[in-house]
Amino acid sequence: MGKLGDRICEALLGYNKEYWCRALFSERSKCDVVENNMCETLNSWIVGPRHKSVISMLGDIRHKMMDRHGDMIKFADTWINDISPMARLILEENKEIGRTLRVNWNHDIGFEIQEGEYKHIIDMTRKTCSRRLWQLRGIPCQHAVCALYHIGQEPEGYVEHWYIKDTFLSAYKYFLQPISNMVTWPDNNNPPVKPPEVK
């Protein structure tokens, strides 16, 4: 890789690989996202408020959160069934691919799924695929879908509860409460908080 490449590899390997290498991701979180787009989205979402004083910034973020809270509840009303639209899209893609794969079943819990020159093993009891996408996402992968169809099961019943409407709505069951502005706050005897001196 050359001088620069070797140093980059060494530096990269110095970081916790379970945070950036999908092969080492924990299967507990049901998220296979590697990039930091979610952080970037939040950062751009608060770009206006973050340049204000702390109280004003937090007030603006609270207002945005109150609006988003309502938007998310309305969004859940648009779902065509109990599975989130994103999970539904992934599942539908996996169904399309899964229909084209070959399956060998041991007539118990094990399936061997042929995809081109590769074979993937499905364990229906543990809800695992040797490729690990099912475990990482919590949505049946194309190999799991193939096995489920082979035994007459619908893959929707195997989508993890994280993608179900009730779980989604439970994240929004507590509401942010309105707060009056600082003018109406009671006075106290505490010294005012001042910004640090700039040197």
Domain locations in the chain as residue ranges: 85-166
Higher pLDDT, 143 or 5: 143
Q: How far apart, in whole angstroms, are the C-alpha atoms of residue 138 and residue 155?
A: 11
Tell me if residue 128 falls in helix, strand or coil: strand
The residue ranking higher by pLDDT, 22 or 91, is: 91
Burial (CB count <10 Å: 0-12, 13-18, 19+), residue 180: exposed
Q: Which of 81, 90, 94 is nearest to 168 (CA)?
A: 81
- pLDDT above 80: residue 183: yes
* Tokens describing residue 35: 């990039």
Of 164, 156, 133, 117, nearest in space to 32 by CA? 133
Of 161, 169, 160, the closest CA to residue 141 belongs to 160
Give the mean model confidence (pLDDT) for residues 25-42: 69
Which is higher by pLDDT, 75 or 18? 75
Residue 26 has pLDDT above 60, yes or no: yes
Residue in this structure with the two tokens 């619908």, named with its chain if needed: 154
Q: What is the DSSP string of 15-49?
A: S-GGGT-GGG--SSS-----S-HHHHHHHHHTTTG
Read off the pLDDT band of 27 (50, 70, 90): low
- For 38-72, how does the pLDDT look when each residue is reduced to its tens digit (9 = 90+)? 778 888 888 888 888 888 899 999 999 999 999 99
The answer to whether residue 1 scores a pLDDT higher than 80 is no
